A and B are shown apart, each in its own frame.
Chain A
């Protein structure tokens, strides 16, 4: 298990703080006392300094407790030691703070795949030894995490767009074969592409184009798309790509209707919904679609706040890109009807690989796997395939193996690697669901469109 201790792979700032607290020399007396002094515990300490000391102890205690929490998720999973024939894999993701569960779900998938491979004799005969680091979801945290994982044979990681954007050049300089797990950052396939770095999830453009293609197959009659979401770059990119791909797939232009990109820090969407609805025809418009650019918890909030306005009911289709399974499950049966495009939904695939994955995951963790768990599981499978195809564990050979035309069976189907984009090509899941208290996880799956890689536009060009 992951040791509850500060290791080299733990959150750097918090652990440094703990370490620094231990190492700080203790002053017996303050040499200068500019304020009235008093005797305290046998030492002469100024009153003001005493207060500062108390404050520092209080603040320090708080920071140490936070640090302990963060440090708890770092460390090595290998209890029995390792030898030279082992393959050392460094994993980094967000393992603390508000988004920690996403990193933990990814780590669950990684660990499950490693357990399966090691039980089967290892990857190419090499037992996989895992070491983890917390990137805190930030660029600085990711860079520090990669530094802490130096010496690994293989790196797997990446959480937020910020962390991936910041760490990509560092990964390139480091030279270790790396598979980026968790961010759809478009630039990872273009300006931030590195020779030793493979991008697993589709880009933001990729998810969006898959959504456009998938919805077009199921609901081809949408004439006008409205757009509603926070004013961030990915909202603009994904909405335009979804509409472009939808148009292309149905073979005719669709109109862009009402568009509202609102304050990204807002949590009260009601005013935006109210204003938006003033400009949208009333009643149900079956030939009108709504692209919703919220993400994660924002989607839960929007789903709840739109209900009294019957916002979504005005549309024939409501579509969204990005992690939605966790958000839908959280609503315990009251989730709105949605089309969503992301890597994976556990109930969308009826094949042996997926059955094995879902059953094993449920057995080990007592829950169905999320798309995050799928990402973690899949990158380990791809890494293992590269190790098996490689002549040695040298970085150069492993990188060559990644580009040697691998074909890997994943729960979503067969994945290959595009050597121009350094992008894993795997099917994208476009699934249609609605909340239903009687359904498993409170979500009823209405339809799935599996979009193959050759219908996905990864670069937005």
Chain B
């Protein structure tokens, strides 16, 4: 029983970060067809923005959460600038063009962060209210993990509402499926795409800010989680935003179970599962074949 609890806690811990990053990456690909490798840089910048705003501040819980939102908005605005300068020129292009351009953008943003924030690692103090932990049996649940779980559930619910229940979701879906036809019926395609970039980049920025108290904030963050998040996006199905939630959870739990019982195999989980899915279901677990053809 204790083992199961450890696996659940560990799995959830891994799933939260993967979901927050993969969901934004999947969203941008689904709507714009741009596989954004610079998404990790948005995550990095969210952490840097939070670190800079909280520098020499003994932040309470409310201040910290407000800073996280502000950092997310800051990164989202940066996403709009990147959209205007780069992404707009990639719409409708083959995936390789997007990969190359965003790969270059990743290095550019890393270099800029080094110049602006320095290359020494920064640290963000954990707000005292979030600092403790509960012990359940021999398993330990840090209080702050509850904040992360709630943030993930909140984001998942918001994305579900936005893209499955709101008019905005239908408009986005129309633009994703056929931008010319969407424009023909009066939808401001450019505006919709900008909104999607804003949300996608903002999610990555939120992830970076939320994780800043438990990581060393440095430019290496830009590449640390990109590959694993990309694996989540691929396994869920390129562009299937909602699919990243269950897939991140399943990945997290599989990883945690392996870590508990056969830790020597834990490192390879992501890549083995991704390879198997690509072989037997190349469109991803929740994707359609049409999406692969269009990609």
Contacts and interface: CB of A to CB of B under 8 A. Distances in A.
Given A62-B104, A65-B111, A271-B10, A308 B131 contact: yes
A263 to B, nearest CB: 4
B6 A274 contact: yes
B43 to A, nearest CB: 11
B169 interface: no
* Majority secondary structure, B binding face: helix
A307 interface: yes
Nearest to A271: B10
A310 B267 CA distance: 26
B167 interface: no
Contacts of A54: 89
Interface string B113-130: 011001111110110000
B14 interface: yes
Nearest to A335: B123
B288 interface: no
A66 B108 contact: yes
B229 interface: no
B274 to A, nearest CB: 15
Contacts of B111: 65-66, 69-70, 96-97
Nearest to A70: B111
Contact of A272 (B119, B140, B259): B259
Contacts of B108: 62, 65-66
B40 to A, nearest CB: 11
Interface stretch (B175-183, B195-203, B213-221, B232-240): B213-221
Interface in A262-278: 262-263, 265, 267-268, 270-272, 274-275, 277-278
A69 B121 contact: no
B17 A271 contact: no
B107 A58 contact: no
A278 B126 CA distance: 25
A98 B2 CA distance: 40
Interface stretch (A1-9, A35-43, A325-333): A325-333
B256 interface: yes
A97 B122 contact: no
A98 B114 contact: yes
A274 B9 CA distance: 9
A59 B98 CA distance: 11
B255 interface: yes
Nearest to B118: A101
Contacts of B83: none
B97 interface: yes
Contacts of A416: none
B260 interface: yes
Given A275-B259, A308-B142, A51 B93 contact: yes
A224 interface: no
A327 B13 contact: no
Contact of A308 (B56, B122, B140, B221): B140
A305 interface: yes
B263 interface: yes
A297 B121 CA distance: 6
Given A271-B10, A300-B121, A330 B216 contact: yes
B219 A97 contact: yes
Contacts of B11: 271
B144 interface: yes
Q: Chain B interface residue count: which class?
A: 35 or more
A302 to B, nearest CB: 9
Contacts of A51: 89, 93
A260 interface: yes
A101 B123 contact: no
Given A69-B111, A97-B114, A308 B144 contact: yes
A330 B215 CA distance: 12
Interface string A414-430: 00000000000000000
B147 to A, nearest CB: 12
Contacts of B107: 62-63, 66
A308 B100 CA distance: 41
B224 interface: yes
A250 interface: no
A271 B256 contact: yes
Contacts of A98: 110, 114, 119, 218-220
Given A101-B118, A260-B263, A267-B224, A304 B219 contact: no
A334 interface: yes
B170 interface: no
Contacts of B142: 270, 308-309
B10 A326 contact: no
A301 B221 CA distance: 12
Contacts of B151: none
Interface string A297-320: 111110011011110000000000
Contacts of B60: none
Given A334-B123, A334-B125, A55 B225 contact: no
B174 interface: no
A304 B133 contact: no
B192 interface: no
A99 interface: yes
A268 B17 contact: yes
B112 to A, nearest CB: 8
Contacts of A262: 263, 266
B246 interface: no
Contacts of A100: 114, 119
Interface in A116-136: none
A433 to B, nearest CB: 15
B86 interface: yes
Contacts of A308: 131-133, 140, 142-144
B10 A270 contact: yes
A151 interface: no
Contacts of B133: 308-310
Contacts of B256: 271
B138 A278 contact: yes
A263 B120 CA distance: 23
Interface in A63-103: 63, 65-66, 69-70, 96-102
A187 B119 CA distance: 29
5 contacts: A99-B119, A277-B140, A278-B138, A300-B123, A331-B123
Leading 4 A-B pairs by shortest Cβ distance: A308-B142, A297-B216, A300-B216, A271-B10
Given A51-B93, A98-B220, 14 more contacts: A58-B89, A62-B108, A97-B111, A98-B114, A98-B218, A100-B114, A231-B267, A267-B221, A267-B225, A270-B142, A274-B6, A275-B10, A297-B121, A332-B123
Interface of A: 51, 54-55, 58-59, 62-63, 65-66, 69-70, 96-102, 104, 231, 260, 262-263, 265, 267-268, 270-272, 274-275, 277-278, 282, 296-301, 304-305, 307-310, 326-327, 330-332, 334
